[in-house]
């Protein structure tokens, strides 16, 4: 496993690969957990050469968000990546990636200003811009993303289509704790009571999916039910509970493949989770 920190070194090393060698990219912000490991293992199975990028991207954090405190565990992450058989960890500094006068931004209309984008203006613009840079630096054949950030996946898939990147986006399922809490680098922020109450998200998604499978198609009613369930928890404060289609547009009649997506604060920690209607929640 090689740790690469600069764009030049990355290009130099990649130029040495055989033609025809397929490259898998797993873009992360580090603090790797089992959810990331799922992506990495999938890339290792699918492609000849796996690159994990680790970059806590300032462009995707708002001014009052947790950029400064976001967990940074590069040494541990590298050990984990090495043990799995990752070829490169690419961990550039902010200066290396953003330079001194970054002026170019990639934006997706009517997808990035809703759901997580409503509470985090500019977030997806920041994500897309950095992912576009990584795509151009690495030219992967496949790029792996988690279903937990399903809006991010949908937006990146749209960017790949619209800008004609020759890259296959792959979405991997949400990995959960035994009690159903979706893995997240932000779970470490949760106090004991918040951690206990946060399992309501899984329970609520599971129940909603069961209602859907039992024939419920009305979005308003399913959302109302979910909101009420979450609001029974003392430390919970809902950001959004929405049902959208694959392109993140709200639906009133639910169809298979639509998504129930939630963002809820437990104390000061904002967690997100989702279920694709008709699909099993458990990996």
Residue 91 in 3-state DSSP? coil
Close Cβ partners of 138 (under 8 Å, ≥ 6 residues apart):
10, 14, 23, 25, 51, 53, 90
Q: Binding residues for a copy of itself, how many (CB under 8 A)?
A: 30
C-alpha to C-alpha distances, 229 to 192, 210, 218, 221, 225, nearest whole angstrom:
20, 15, 17, 12, 6
What x/- string results for residues 206 through 245 when contact with a copy of itself is judged by CB under 8 A?
----------------------------------------
* Segment interacting with a copy of itself, rule: CB under 8 A, options 60-68, 101-109, 179-187, 202-210: 101-109
Of positions 1, 7, 173, 177, contacts a copy of itself by CB under 8 A = 7
Close Cβ partners of 24 (under 8 Å, ≥ 6 residues apart):
42, 43, 44, 46, 47, 49, 50, 51, 140, 141, 142, 143, 144
Site for a copy of itself in 15-54 (CB under 8 A): 19
C-alpha to C-alpha distances, 262 to 17, 204, 237, nearest whole angstrom:
42, 10, 11
- A 10 A CB-CB count for 223 gives 19
Q: CB-wise, 38 or 145, nearer to a copy of itself?
A: 145
Residue 172 sits in the site that holds a copy of itself (CB under 8 A): no
Residue found by looking up tokens 């099993």 in the block: 280
Residue 116 sits in the site that holds a copy of itself (CB under 8 A): no
Residue found by looking up tokens 């990147």 in the block: 165
Residue 106 sits in the site that holds a copy of itself (CB under 8 A): yes
Residue 110 sits in the site that holds a copy of itself (CB under 8 A): yes
Close Cβ partners of 98 (under 8 Å, ≥ 6 residues apart):
58, 59
Is 36 known to be catalytic? yes
d(CA 275, CA 188): 23
Of positions 40, 78, 137, 260, contacts a copy of itself by CB under 8 A = 137
* Segment interacting with a copy of itself, rule: CB under 8 A, options 46-54, 164-172, 200-208, 217-225: 164-172
State the minimum distance, in angstroms, from the CB of residue 258 to a copy of itself.
18
Residue found by looking up tokens 């060698």 in the block: 21
Residue 132 sits in the site that holds a copy of itself (CB under 8 A): yes
Of positions 21, 76, 94, 102, contacts a copy of itself by CB under 8 A = 102
Interface residues with a copy of itself (CB under 8 A)?
A: 7, 11, 19, 99, 101-111, 128-129, 132-133, 136-137, 158-159, 161-166, 247
Active site residues: 36
């Amino acid at each position: 496993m090689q740790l690469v920190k600069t764009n030049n070194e990355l290009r130099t090393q990649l130029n040495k690969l055989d033609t025809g060698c397929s490259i898998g990219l797993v873009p992360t912000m580090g603090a790797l957990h089992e959810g990331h490991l799922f992506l990495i293992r999938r890339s290792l199975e699918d492609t000849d050469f796996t690159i994990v990028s680790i970059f806590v991207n300032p462009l995707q954090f708002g001014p009052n968000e947790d950029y400064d405190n976001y967990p940074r565990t590069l040494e541990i992450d590298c050990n984990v990546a090495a043990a799995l058989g990752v070829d490169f960890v690419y961990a550039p500094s902010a200066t290396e990636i953003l330079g001194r006068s970054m002026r170019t931004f990639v934006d997706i209309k009517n997808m990035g200003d809703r759901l997580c984008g409503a509470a985090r203006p500019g977030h997806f613009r920041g994500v897309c811009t950095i992912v576009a840079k990584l795509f151009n630096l690495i030219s992967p054949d496949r790029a792996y993303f988690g279903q937990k950030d399903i809006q991010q996946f949908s937006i990146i898939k749209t960017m790949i289509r619209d800008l004609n990147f020759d890259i296959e986006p792959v979405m991997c399922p949400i990995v959960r704790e035994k009690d159903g809490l979706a893995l997240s680098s932000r779970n470490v922020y949760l106090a004991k009571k918040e951690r206990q109450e946060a399992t309501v998200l899984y329970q609520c998604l599971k129940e909603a999916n069961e209602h859907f499978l039992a024939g419920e198609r009305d979005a308003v009613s399913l959302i109302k039910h979910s909101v009420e369930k979450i609001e029974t928890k003392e430390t919970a404060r809902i950001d959004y509970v929405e049902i959208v289609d694959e392109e993140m547009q709200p639906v009133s009649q639910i169809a298979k493949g639509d998504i129930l997506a939630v963002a809820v604060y437990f104390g000061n920690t904002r967690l997100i989770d989702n279920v694709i209607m008709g699909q099993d929640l458990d990996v």
